[in-house]
Each structure stands twice: as structure tokens, then as C-alpha cells.
Amino acid sequence: MALKTANEFLDTIKKMKPRVYIGGKWVKNLLDNPVTRSMVMANAAMYGLAEDPANKEVMVATSHLTGEPINRNLNVARNIHDLDMRQEMALLTSQTVGTCNYRCVGCDALNSLAATTWEMDRDLGTKYNERFNKWLAYAQANDLAVSGAITDAKGDRRKRPTQQDEIDVFVHLVEKRDDGIVVSGIKVSQSGAIGSHETLVLPGGALKEGEEQFALAFVVQNSVPGLTYVCQYNAYSAEREMCGDESELGNPIYGQRETSTMIFDKVFIPWDRVFLCGETKFCGKMVTRFAKAHRMNCGGACKVGFADLIIGGTMLAAEYIGVEKVPHIQEKIIDMVRLSETSHACAIAAAMRGREEPKGSGVYLPDDLFGNAAKLNIAHGFWEIIKNAGDIGGGLVVTMPRLKDLDDPEVGPALKKAFSAAAPAAKRLKVAKFLQHWSAGLHGPGTWHGAGAPQTQRFMFTVLTDFEKKKKMAKKLMGMTEE
């Protein structure tokens, strides 16, 4: 049984008991807390999408290990078509849930691991790839929801991991035993581990000789003793907890994007789940390969799916007040489409120009330059898109009363008068709340930082661009001779 249904996934999650803390409370049941439930339901929707025959090409792949059909979130890309369908999956999942596909980071992490463990075995004679493939076959056979944790807490940025006052700001090795390793430390901004079965943990960045204790890649079961999740908590969390009727919210079922701080307190990881331990030389490659995949998917496709939703909501807002044909409104909406589709084009280009890396591994990764272009473009473009949504949506996006207030016998009639326009007040407020979710929510900074802050993409541009070649071209055309 390689593909689970959404209901089968929910049945397993009901029995998962990670140690989760949110807004001052411990969560005993992920489906009872309205905030953690929204995350779990988004994960369930990913299983639901794979059930639908209409999505088979995008959501279902064939395991290169077993030949069985598997959820694409657990697939290692073996050709250009796989890369293209991977980015299409990121688009489809975002369009469907309007929040994170919480299996996305895990998918890109496992592609990086497939490439890098193969290279380590080739160069060092280790058995990491064999071990990784056994884990992957097990994850595929059980259709596990696998999330990914990359970013360490990092502490004082002027200092290397070994120089930090508090060693736990980086996940690190505590003990090496016959049966496995013991790890401690903190990963931050982690998306969706609480409602997944397992989490792939990669090093947060390149490491140097002498930093071996931080060079770790492993997969952890999400409820093992010693692992604690402290969830993000903000105005949207509080609103979801307090509203009493989630249908009033901007994204009723799936919510904003839910992350947590993962605290490892002497957590045991058996060797069969360890994919890098001490090999500092390969940490940079592992993270770069992850970023290469993630910038195409998270930047160039996922956020385009969000943009599609925002554009749809913005057009409805315009129609509901009768301004949809006004030229400057149309121009702003076209700008939103231009910004978003340019990123999608970069993602498609990144997939189409993808190649086997390393040669002989059978693993395909996207083109680095186009992937970085996709991410950098949407990081800036997304702010423009939500600015236009706020512009066209009007002040109502942030000044609206509760939707339920329309039904209040005392104030409801006046509110209906106030907010009825080319459509009834209820429709206007519903769309305004939807646009509030996007333009005044968490997605702006989330899009900026997700898959790496733009400064990292700018740096990659300087590395990947052959500026000398461009100067030479210009000189040749101008007829300038070399001195």
C-alpha cells in the first residue's frame, strides 16, 4: 500500500502524540486545537489531492526503488519531467490550500540527500546512500508525511558554531553510541513537523573542519522523547482560537502558515536514520542542493499559487464594488499577473534546464540560476502583489467588522446598509477578510525569507553569473580591442 487516502492519514495522525506547546498551553490532541488542526488538515489535503485521478500526473510518481506508485512528495527526481511535475505540484498544492504544503521541505531535503549521500559513498566509501534508500523505501511504502528542518537558531551571527556561548543554538552531536547518536540543539521556523510522521534534519549551512559535531543529517520520528515543539503564536493564532466560528476566517480550514521551534534535548537517533555524521566537507553541498530545489518550488511555484488566489480575490473585490472595468484597476491586476507568471516561468525554466547532479547519481536537480531568479523575483513581486490587493480591496480590508456582526439584530441592519455595493455586504466582507489574510497576514515576510532571504539569492547570482563573458561580449560589439 503505497498511497494513503486523506482519511487514512488522519487516522494515523490521531495516534501521533508529539510534545507540542502553543500560546501557553500543551496540546494533547492536534485535532482538538484549532490552530494545530488547520496544519493537520492542510497535510490531509495533500493526500486528498493524490487520490483524485485528475491530479495523478502531478501528484503521483513511480518509485525508482520499488516501481510502485508513490506520492510525489516522496519522489527523487530522475529526469526533467519529474522536476517539471515537482514544481507543478507546488503550484497545485498552494492553489488548493492557500498555505504550506507541509511535505514540501521534506521532499526537497530528500532530493538533496539522495544526491549528496550518493556522492559521499562514492568519495568516502560510506554506506549513507544505501541507508538513505532503505529509509526512503520505508517512507514510500507507508506514505509518510515527512517534513524538513534546516534553519538552526544560529545565535550571534558574528561567531562560528563552536564559538557560541550556548552550543544549543546549533543542532549538534552529544554522543556517538554503538546503536546510534544522541543529538541536542534547536531548529527554528520549521513548517509542519507537528502534524507529520517524520522530519528530515539537515545542517543549516556550510561547515568547516573542526565543526564536525554540527555536521549532522538524520531523520527523526516526530514524537520521540526529548523532542519538543513550541509553535508560533500571533494575532491570527489567537483569532482562530477565539473566533468560535472558523468559517469567518480568511482561510477557514487551512489557516495561515504554521511553524514551530524544534527543541532537541538529547534525542536518540539510530544509525539507520543517520545520513551524515561529521563529514563537514559535504554540508555545504547538502544545503546548496536543498536550496536549489526549494527555490524553484517554494519561490517559483508555491508563491505563484498564492498569487493566483490573491488575484482571484482582488478581482472579486473589484467586481463587488463595480470598479472592475476601471483602467487603472485592470492595469494593477495585470501587473499582479505579470509578477507572478514571471516567477512561474523561471521555475519552469529551472526544471527544463535541470540536470543530473552529481553525474552518475541518477538524481536530477533544477538549474541554479533560474531557481534563484524565481525566488528573488517573487520575494520582491509578492509585496507588490499584496500591495495591489490592499489597494484594490480598499481600506475595508483592515477596517471591516466581524462577518458575524451583520447578523446582529442591533447593528446588523446598519452594517448591511454600509457595506452593500454591487454585491451584498456579506460577500464584500468575506472577500475583504480573505484579502486581509494575505495582505495583512504572515505571508509577506514568510515569502521573503522562505527558501532563504533574498540576500542569499543575490549572492548566488554573483557566483553563477559569468560577468567577464558579458563584458567581453559588450566590448566585441563596440569594437573595443583587448590591450
Partner 1 sequence: MKKKAKKVEASAGETGMEIISVKIGSKAPAIYKGLGGTFASFMDSCLRKRALPGFHEKGLIAEAEPKKAGIVLCLSGKRSEAKLKEVLDIALLNTGAYPNTGGKAGFFIDVKSEQ
Query: How far is residue 266's CA from residue 278's CA, in Å, rounded to a whole number?
Result: 17
Does residue number 127 form part of the binding site for partner 1 (CB under 8 A)?
Answer: yes
* DSSP code string of 128-170: HHHHHHHHHHHHHHTT--EEEE--B----TTS-GGG-SSGGGS
Query: Which member of 118, 135, 236, 438 binds partner 1 (CB under 8 A)?
Result: 135
**Number of residues counted as binding partner 1 (CB under 8 A):** 36
Cβ-based nearer residue to partner 1, 148 or 452: 148
- Shortest separation between residue 289's beta carbon and partner 1, angstroms: 23
Query: In the structure grid, which three cell numbers stand for residue 118, read together?
Result: 550518493
272 beta partners: none
Alpha carbons within 13 A on the beta-carbon side of 276: 33
Q: Residue 259 phi/psi, 5° resolution?
A: -125, 170
Does residue number 281 form part of the binding site for partner 1 (CB under 8 A)?
Answer: no
358 upstream amide cis, omega within 30 of 0:
yes
- Shortest separation between residue 138's beta carbon and partner 1, angstroms: 5
Does residue number 134 form part of the binding site for partner 1 (CB under 8 A)?
Answer: yes
Cβ-based nearer residue to partner 1, 67 or 244: 67
Does residue number 69 form part of the binding site for partner 1 (CB under 8 A)?
Answer: no
Query: Which member of 270, 322, 360, 445 binds partner 1 (CB under 8 A)?
Result: 270
- Shortest separation between residue 41's beta carbon and partner 1, angstroms: 20
Eight-state DSSP code of residue 250:
S
Query: Which member of 24, 53, 54, 179 binds partner 1 (CB under 8 A)?
Result: 179
Binding residues among 440-459 for partner 1 as defined by CB under 8 A: none
Assess contact for 412 and 406: CB atoms under 8 A.
yes
Cβ-based nearer residue to partner 1, 178 or 466: 178
- Shortest separation between residue 66's beta carbon and partner 1, angstroms: 11
Query: Which member of 62, 63, 95, 142 binds partner 1 (CB under 8 A)?
Result: 142
Query: In the structure grid, which three cell numbers stand for residue 410, read together?
Result: 442591533
- Shortest separation between residue 132's beta carbon and partner 1, angstroms: 10
Window contacting partner 1 (CB under 8 A); options: 58-66, 177-185, 301-309, 382-390: 177-185
Q: Which string of x and - marks every residue 8-47 that binds partner 1 (by CB under 8 A)?
A: ----x--xxxxx----------------------------
Assess contact for 46 and 196: CB atoms under 8 A.
no
Query: Which member of 2, 62, 271, 315 binds partner 1 (CB under 8 A)?
Result: 271
Query: Which member of 29, 57, 156, 225 binds partner 1 (CB under 8 A)?
Result: 225
C-alpha angle 173/177/182, rounded to 5°? 35
Does residue number 123 form part of the binding site for partner 1 (CB under 8 A)?
Answer: no
Q: Give the list of residues 6+ apart from residue 152 with CB closer than 8 angstroms, or none.
A: 161, 169, 170, 171, 185, 186, 187, 188, 204, 205
Query: Which member of 32, 165, 178, 468 binds partner 1 (CB under 8 A)?
Result: 178
Pairing of strands 198-201, 146-149: parallel
Q: Computed from CA positions of residues 333, 339, 345, 350, in that sequence, does the dihedral angle turn out positive or negative?
A: negative
Query: In the structure grid, which three cell numbers stand for residue 145, read together?
Result: 508525511
Cβ-based nearer residue to partner 1, 27 or 105: 27
Burial group, residue 471, by CB count within 10 angstroms (0-12, 13-18, 19+): exposed
Cβ-based nearer residue to partner 1, 198 or 258: 198
Cβ-based nearer residue to partner 1, 127 or 476: 127
Name residue, grid cell 540560476.
Answer: 369
Cβ-based nearer residue to partner 1, 3 or 421: 3
Binding site for partner 1 (CB under 8 A): 12, 15-19, 125-127, 131, 134-135, 137-138, 142, 176-180, 197-198, 221-226, 268, 270-274, 277-278
